[in-house]
């Protein structure tokens, strides 16, 4: 279950509400604001001030659109209109959470107690909350399926790179599609160098033109005499981000969360090598 609570030191009153399990924290906070509004109307109070640490609820209540499609937001607006009509002046005050403010801390404690001991009203969980639960379930099922494949393929990716996230590594980064594709290849350990191509039977020889028997990305960055000088800045960035560990561990670390600078350096280095990694 989810708890919501209201505390009034002036009225010496406490209200603990036990809401259904699928209720989101946002909906619980909305209901915790809505309940005292209706109570103020019923008590015919001339004015009432409500203190809350939920800025998102206050912004939704005063906004013109309901981006969450949560039916409780129009309900609050309707209650505020009713309060105005009945002569009850409602004022909201926002305070930051977890700052030791006595009344706010008391309300938080009551909300935790409400999970077990609160009043169970005929509360209808907003369908948007169910959608969030379904989305989370799909997300978790997808990653369970993905992780089950780790023993079969993608061992480098799952052991060194994998991060359970709903957003791609390049989220909000200003990088080109060309760069994204190339970094994805390196992250998956399937890129355009002879050793990787040889593993997929795409070329007959895994060696490097410099004479090394293995042309992979680590060889190109650290050992290949043909492009060693051109990888100087790339090595410097890798060493700064990952100062300890072997070469593979360091490269895996920086490629798991690549910066825009690193992406640009790798792209430029690939062009220097005349190979789109």
Tell me: pLDDT of 163 over 90: no
10 and 85 share one domain: yes
* Residue 125, in any domain of the structure: yes
**Cβ count near 25 (within 10 Å):** 13
101 and 217 share one domain: no
Q: State whether residue 192 is helix, strand or coil.
A: coil
182 and 252 share one domain: yes
Domain endpoint, select from 74, 106, 131: 131
Q: Per-residue pLDDT averaged across 59-79, rounded?
A: 83
Domain endpoint, select from 131, 165, 186: 131
pLDDT for 165 equals 84
pLDDT for 97 equals 76
122 and 220 share one domain: no
207: number of CA atoms within 13 Å, CB side? 6
Q: Which domain holds residue 227?
A: 177-273
* Residue 144, in any domain of the structure: no
Domain count, the chain: 2
Tell me: pLDDT of 68 over 80: no
The average confidence (pLDDT) of the chain is 89
Q: Which residues contact 89 (CB under 8 A, 6 or more apart)?
A: 46, 47, 48, 83
* Residue 261, in any domain of the structure: yes
pLDDT in tens, 107-130: 888 889 889 888 888 888 998 888
* Residue 235, in any domain of the structure: yes
* Residue 142, in any domain of the structure: no
191 and 101 share one domain: no
124 and 217 share one domain: no
CA–CA distance, 106 with 9 (Å, rounded to integer): 10
pLDDT in tens, 120-162: 888 889 988 888 888 888 988 988 888 888 777 778 888 888 8
113 and 215 share one domain: no
* pTM of structure: 0.65
Q: Is 164 left (phi over 0), alpha (psi -120 to 50) or beta?
A: beta
**Residue 113: Cβ-neighbour burial (10 angstroms; 0-12, 13-18, 19+):** middle
* Residue 81, in any domain of the structure: yes
* Residue 86, in any domain of the structure: yes
Band (pLDDT 50/70/90 cuts) for residue 67 is low
* Residue 100, in any domain of the structure: yes
pLDDT in tens, 190-248: 999 999 999 999 999 999 999 999 999 999 999 999 999 999 999 999 999 999 989 99
124 and 242 share one domain: no
127 and 6 share one domain: yes
Tell me: pLDDT of 249 over 80: yes
12 and 106 share one domain: yes
């Amino acid at each position: 279950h989810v708890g919501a609570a209201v505390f009034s030191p002036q009225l010496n009153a406490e209200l603990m509400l036990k809401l259904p399990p699928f209720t989101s924290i946002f909906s619980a906070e909305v209901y915790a604001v809505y309940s005292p509004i209706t109570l103020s109307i019923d008590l015919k109070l001339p004015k009432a001030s409500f203190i809350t640490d939920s800025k998102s609820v206050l912004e939704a209540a005063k906004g013109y659109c309901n981006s969450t499609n949560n039916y409780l937001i129009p309900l609050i607006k309707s209650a505020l209109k009713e309060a105005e009509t009945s002569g009850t002046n409602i004022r909201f005050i926002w305070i930051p959470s977890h700052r030791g403010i006595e009344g706010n801390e008391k309300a938080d404690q009551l909300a935790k107690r409400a999970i077990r001991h609160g009043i169970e009203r005929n509360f209808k969980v907003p369908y948007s909350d169910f959608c969030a639960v379904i989305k989370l379930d799909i997300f978790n099922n997808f990653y369970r399926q993905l992780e089950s494949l780790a023993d079969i393929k993608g061992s480098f990716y799952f052991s060194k790179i994998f991060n359970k996230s709903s957003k791609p590594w390049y989220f909000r980064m200003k990088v080109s599609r060309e760069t994204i594709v190339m970094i994805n290849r390196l992250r998956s350990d399937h890129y355009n160098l002879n050793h990787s191509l040889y593993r997929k039977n795409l070329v007959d020889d895994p060696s490097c033109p410099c004479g090394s028997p293995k042309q992979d990305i680590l060889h190109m960055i650290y050992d290949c005499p043909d492009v060693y000088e051109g990888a100087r800045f790339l090595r410097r960035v890798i060493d700064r981000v990952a100062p300890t560990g072997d070469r593979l561990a360091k490269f895996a670390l920086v490629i798991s969360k690549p910066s825009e600078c690193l992406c640009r350096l790798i792209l430029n280095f690939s062009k220097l090598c005349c190979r789109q990694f």
